[in-house]
């Protein structure tokens, strides 16, 4: 087995000509910045969550088998260089982009933070190890990231996957606020790839949901909120404006443990299986 590369949270190895091995680590990133601190059991949760969704969603994907608690074998694909984001609620970066006039919301949207959109929207970005940038369909076509037919397929399929996960989460007492998906080309068709878990979606407990406030999150939004409250988000943005690579701080032990606890708890409640 040959080591290929380390991503923000995964290490990737070549198994053979047609398969890769994903090692889901306990590393964590936010605002496109990696942090030196580890989140206990995070890799295990991400790996097993990905396995759960790949086995249960009605869409072809690259999953082959799980090798260990935090390792998975997948089919090689030519990845489509788009992050397929679906947003069901007005939250996160969508709020500031709307305030800045950079995105249009559906007619009739309640513009209070965390409000449910009249319908989920497809809000893709470029795919980058550094900093993802929102793109329109025209920009996707102009940049040659996908054909028009592929774009419409990605939009339709992403919205269908969001809807499927939304109802599974709802039955477990959670709200799926938004979701990031990745796809790749394999055997002449596009199939679902990468992973699906608390690093790829925002999940809120339904019992504590209140429009107009910051939500209790069972995902890495907990880390984003901690960073933003301490000025790190602005610092990262300022560093990039000045051509500097942002450096993530050490995270407090209590925050790492709380993130771990929420990841493990969410997995158990959504899948009905304790780790």
pLDDT, tens digit (0-9, with 9 covering 90-100), for 54-63: 999 999 999 9
Answer whether residue 127 shows pLDDT above 90.
Answer: no
The Cα 262–Cα 150 span in angstroms is: 36
Answer whether residue 199 shows pLDDT above 80.
Answer: yes
Residues of the chain within CATH 3.30.470.20 domain(s) are 78-230
Answer whether residue 128 shows pLDDT above 90.
Answer: no
The Cα 178–Cα 166 span in angstroms is: 9
Percent of residues, the chain, with pLDDT higher than 70: 99
CA dihedral 206, 8, 246, 238 (to 10 degrees): -50
What is the chain's mean pLDDT, rounded? Answer: 96
| CATH of the structural domain 78-230, one choice from 1.20.272.10, 3.40.50.450, 3.30.470.20, 1.10.10.10 | 3.30.470.20
Q: Quick one: pLDDT at residue 129?
A: 59
The Cα 47–Cα 64 span in angstroms is: 13
Burial class of residue 271 (count of CB atoms within 10 Å of its CB; 0-12, 13-18, 19+): middle
pLDDT, tens digit (0-9, with 9 covering 90-100), for 231-273: 999 999 999 999 999 999 999 999 999 999 999 999 999 999 9
Query: Is CATH 3.40.630.10 what the domain over 2-75 is classified as, yes or no?
Result: no
What three-state secondary structure class fits 30? strand
Q: Quick one: pLDDT at residue 37?
A: 97
Q: Quick one: pLDDT at residue 256?
A: 97
8 A C-beta contact, residue 84 and residue 124 = yes
């Amino acid at each position: 087995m040959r080591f290929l590369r380390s991503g923000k949270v995964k290490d990737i190895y070549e198994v053979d000509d047609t398969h890769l091995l994903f090692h889901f680590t306990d590393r964590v990133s936010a605002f496109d910045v990696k942090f030196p601190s580890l989140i206990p059991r995070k890799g295990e949760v991400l790996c097993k969550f990905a396995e759960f969704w790949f086995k249960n969603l009605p869409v072809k994907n690259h999953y082959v088998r799980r090798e260990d608690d935090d390792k998975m074998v997948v089919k090689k694909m030519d990845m489509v260089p788009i992050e397929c984001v679906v947003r069901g609620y007005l939250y996160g970066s969508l709020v500031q982009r709307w305030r800045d006039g950079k995105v249009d919301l559906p007619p009739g949207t309640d513009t209070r933070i965390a409000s449910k959109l009249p319908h989920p929207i497809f809000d893709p970005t470029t795919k980058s190890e550094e900093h993802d940038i929102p793109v329109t369909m025209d920009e996707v076509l102009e940049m040659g990231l996908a054909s028009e037919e592929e774009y419409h397929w990605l939009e339709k399929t992403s919205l269908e996957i969001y809807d499927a996960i939304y109802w599974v989460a709802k039955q477990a007492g959670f709200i799926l606020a938004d979701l990031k998906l990745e796809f790749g080309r394999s055997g002449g068709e596009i199939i679902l790839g990468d992973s699906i878990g608390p690093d790829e979606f925002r999940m809120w407990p339904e019992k504590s949901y209140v429009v107009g406030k910051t939500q209790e999150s069972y995902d890495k939004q907990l880390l984003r909120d901690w960073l933003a409250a301490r000025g790190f988000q602005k610092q990262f943005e300022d560093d990039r404006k000045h051509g500097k690579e942002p450096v993530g701080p050490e995270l407090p032990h209590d925050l790492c443990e709380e993130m771990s606890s929420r990841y493990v708890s969410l997995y158990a409640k959504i899948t009905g299986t304790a780790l």
